[in-house]
Amino acid sequence: MMSVVAIVGRPNVGKSTLFNRIFGQRRAIVEDIPGVTRDRNYARVTRFEVPFTLVDTGGFEPVSEDRLLVQMREQSQLAVEEADVILFVMDAQQGLTPSDQEVAELLRRSGKQVLFVVNKVDGERQEAAVGEFFGLGVDQLFPVSAEHGRGVGDLMDELLTRLPPAATGQDTAEQEVRLAVIGRPNVGKSSLVNRLVGSERVVANPTAGTTRDSIDTPFVYNRQRYVLIDTAGIRRKGKVSQRLEKYSVIQALKAMDRAHVVLVVIDAETGITDQDLTVAGYAFERGRAVILVVNKWDCIAKDNSTLNQYRQKVLDAFKFLNFAPVLFVSALTGQRVAKIMAEVEAVAAEFNRQVPTAALNKALEEAVLAHQPPMVQGRRLKLFYITQTAVRPPSFVVFTNRSETVHFSYQRYLVNHLRATFGFVGTPIRLEFKERERR
């Protein structure tokens, strides 16, 4: 499970610039995958020896009564709760402010590891001003210029020493299937967990944010060992606005780092939201098998066409998960909940499926005969053979004469053909193209 590093500080001190600098590039707003809504406040940073999840925040004004600033402050507090290490960013050009002192005191009370970063140190004048920040009573400051990269290397060296080594070997365990239940606050995740395991294993409460930690529940289904991971919609201490749901993503990310199969729970009453798409998008990015579970189906007025119409609405919204099964259940009444584990069992088998090389190459030949790759600069792209390189998720390499010319649409065609031939229901497919070595 990856550690979480949160960047906090007052508005306009350069938090997002530092976020991009640590991530290594400007965060894109759009994706090649259609239908994936992104909240660009999260990044999975893997370019250092210890990978971690980096979280940007909107701004921390501890004394403001402005409604927007109050909401931003609450979001920052939620990020602080979830973080393993906090980067507290201040502005050298503005100097130490009363707000900085307030934030520093709040962070001390949190008991979390905090690195004090003085940003916008672009020259000698700003360097001379750094000493003022020792007035916070800290032993070490990290003067940086996030815009130009100055001092960021020293900051990262220290940060990486504060992070525990990433857990290894979890995704290769063969004896159990780990199942994560994720979704927005108050969609009925805990009630669904209780139905699945047949007992009041976790606290279910109609108040959003009841679940405070991920809870693992081992159980057996059809002689197969499972570990069910219930996640918090929002972890919160004290009164935090229930409108602020974005940091539920952090808990979902932590759960998905350990999971094989992910149940994305959707509230049938409130419908599909950007938050649902965000957490499902991260499951897709992590290569997890996915089942979409529409809960509270008992609350919907129905006729003969309601289910099919709602199913189509779900498929239209989650276009990037067109391979995922969609189930309609009621955790409250138990309606159709029994179908979930049967679907999980089938999806887990597909997630671990190994296809013989001969069968793969027959399917590749059929795909090419049915639809030739397009010509590129007057030359025909040739696909020589395909082999499977991994499971969880199923991953394949296609050897070709010009790997860089394979268009995204043709890749998608080949993935769809593999699905039509072999199934792979509920699981993403990873397809890589390599050039065949010339003799």
* DSSP assigned state of 298: G
- Of the candidates 388, 393, 383, the one whose C-alpha atom is nearest the C-alpha of residue 357 is 388
Least confident of 128-142, 200-214, 390-404: 200-214
Split at pLDDT 50, 70, 90, the class of 55 is: confident
| Residue-level pLDDT at 240 | 41
| Residue-level pLDDT at 24 | 86
Tokens of residue 354, six digits? 């190994």
Split at pLDDT 50, 70, 90, the class of 248 is: low
Split at pLDDT 50, 70, 90, the class of 37 is: very low
Who's near 260: CB < 8 A, 6+ residues apart? 171, 177, 178, 179, 288, 289, 348, 351, 392
Q: What percent of the chain has pLDDT over 90?
A: 51
Q: What percent of the chain has pLDDT over 70?
A: 81
> Where do the DSSP E strands lie in 99-195?
113-119, 142-143, 176-183
| Residue-level pLDDT at 216 | 72
| Residue-level pLDDT at 230 | 64
Model confidence pLDDT, tens digit, residues 359-412 = 999 999 999 999 998 887 778 889 999 999 999 999 999 999 888 888 899 999
| Residue-level pLDDT at 339 | 95
Split at pLDDT 50, 70, 90, the class of 30 is: very low
At residue 271, does pLDDT exceed 90? Answer: yes
| Residue-level pLDDT at 41 | 67
| Residue-level pLDDT at 92 | 94
Strands 176-183 and 142-143: unpaired
More confident residue, 98 or 375: 98
Split at pLDDT 50, 70, 90, the class of 432 is: very high
| Residue-level pLDDT at 2 | 78
Angle at 306 between CA 304 and CA 307, to 5 degrees: 100
Model confidence pLDDT, tens digit, residues 150-167 = 999 999 999 999 998 765
At residue 436, does pLDDT exceed 50? Answer: yes
At residue 198, does pLDDT exceed 90? Answer: no
* DSSP assigned state of 223: T
At residue 82, does pLDDT exceed 80? Answer: no
Domains in the chain with CATH codes: 3-162 (3.40.50.300), 170-351 (3.40.50.300), 357-435 (3.30.300.20)
Angle at 391 between CA 282 and CA 177, to 5 degrees: 70
Long-range CB pairs of 372-375, under 8 A, 24+ apart, other chains included: 373/406, 373/410, 374/407, 374/410
Strands 375-376 and 85-91: unpaired
